[in-house]
């Protein structure tokens, strides 16, 4: 088969699209004929190299994809040939104390397809049946292949971890990115007032189209000052921060007393300085969140399939141009998700 792959960490020039041995599904796996896939910032970091993760080379990246089942392993009874499926990339052991307590994203062996092990940016992928979600036949492949990771992540952040309530206000940073634009839509669905940041007027227009009540161009003004002005110096109840070091101090400064900062990533760096005085004096909560449980995945993707939520597609490229797709993400070009499709599908 043809697959996106790299044999060493580095810049986008390490990415190749070429032959790779066909996958053979294990007894608990399903073979998927990939129709569309999508990139996340995780793919950029994996390609550059993450501390403590020693990948088997060559590595196939990619955590999001959708396609048609072509073969099922002997122990699989949830799917059959011809089914449409989407990948949910979080893998857990099923037997540790956290898995047994219904929290698989806290699994002691939790890992992500495409980050810790080979992923799904290829013509075919052998995926554990537990990591697949049924997709109705009417759902477009680009939607099915781009929604899973960001919408499950944003859903768990806001619904489960931050416990966002109707009438609260929430600040979504980087609302033009994958998690950001998903969080914006979910917050509106939950009945919150949503403030969104982005780096250009075009991106802010998109955020308003998706329901943002207030938009802030962080290239032109300090977003914490803007939030204080909009809220009459109160601050917001919740901040969604997936950016990290570059925004951390202002994220804390944007919160009302008793507010919650929920984070799922650190695209600008993992080690910001923290104003501990602000945290204890204002009685703030800093909440971590990773991916979603199978139930959370089912809940949010059902709303995507029904059209309640929309993964915005900034561009669709052939997999042979995945290097260009990586550039679009790392250079923050456009709004929403970048989709890649096997060249044989175009």
Mean pLDDT of 107-117: 97
> Could you tell me the residue ranges of all domains in the chain?
2-149+293-341, 162-288
pLDDT of residue 267: 87
**For helices 41-48 and 322-330, angle between their N-to-C axes, nearest 10 degrees:** 100
Nearest to 251 by CA among 35, 336, 9, 260: 260
pLDDT at 303 over 90: yes
Question: Model's pTM, two decimal places?
Answer: 0.97
Cα–Cα distances in Å, from 76 out to 79, 95, 97, 274? 7, 19, 25, 48
> Phi and psi at residue 173, in whole multiples of 5°?
-85, 150
> Beta strands of 149-296 (E only): which ranges?
169-172, 193-198, 214-217, 236-241, 255-263, 285-288
pLDDT at 334 over 90: no
Which single residue is written with the structure tokens 């996340």? 40
CATH number for region 2-149+293-341: 3.90.180.10
pLDDT band at 282 (very low <50, low <70, confident <90, very high): very high
The CATH H-level superfamily of 162-288 is: NAD(P)-binding Rossmann-like Domain (3.40.50.720)
CA distance 236 to 192: 11
């Amino acid at each position: 088969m043809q697959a996106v792959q790299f044999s060493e960490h580095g810049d986008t020039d390490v990415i190749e699209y070429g032959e790779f041995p066909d996958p053979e599904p294990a007894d608990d796996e399903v073979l998927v004929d990939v129709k569309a896939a999508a990139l996340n910032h995780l793919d950029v970091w994996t390609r550059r190299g993450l501390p403590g993760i020693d990948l088997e080379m060559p590595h196939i990246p990619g955590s999001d994809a959708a396609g048609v089942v072509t073969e099922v392993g002997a122990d699989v009874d949830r799917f059959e040939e011809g089914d449409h499926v989407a990948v949910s990339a979080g893998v857990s052991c099923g037997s540790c104390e956290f898995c047994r307590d219904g929290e698989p994203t806290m699994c002691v062996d939790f890992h992500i397809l495409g980050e810790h092990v080979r992923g799904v940016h290829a013509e075919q992928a052998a995926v554990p049946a537990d990591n697949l979600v049924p997709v109705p036949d009417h759902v477009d492949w680009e939607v099915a292949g781009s929604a899973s990771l960001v919408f499950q992540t944003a859903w768990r952040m806001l619904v489960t971890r931050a416990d966002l309530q109707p009438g609260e206000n929430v600040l979504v940073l980087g609302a033009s990115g994958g998690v950001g634009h998903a969080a914006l839509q979910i917050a509106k669905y939950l009945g919150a007032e949503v403030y969104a940041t982005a780096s250009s007027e075009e991106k802010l227009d998109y955020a308003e189209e998706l329901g943002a009540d207030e938009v802030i161009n962080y290239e032109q003004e300090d977003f914490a000052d803007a939030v204080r002005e909009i809220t009459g110096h109160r601050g917001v109840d919740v901040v969604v921060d997936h950016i990290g070091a570059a925004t951390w101090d202002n994220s804390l400064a944007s919160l009302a007393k008793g507010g919650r900062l929920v984070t799922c990533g650190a695209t600008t760096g993992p080690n910001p300085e923290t104003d501990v005085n602000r945290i204890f004096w204002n009685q703030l909560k800093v909440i971590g969140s990773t991916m979603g449980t199978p139930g959370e995945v089912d809940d949010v993707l059902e709303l995507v399939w029904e059209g309640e939520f929309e993964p915005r597609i900034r561009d669709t490229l052939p997999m042979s141009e995945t290097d260009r797709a990586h550039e679009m993400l790392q250079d923050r070009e456009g709004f929403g998700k970048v989709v890649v499709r096997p060249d044989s599908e175009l």
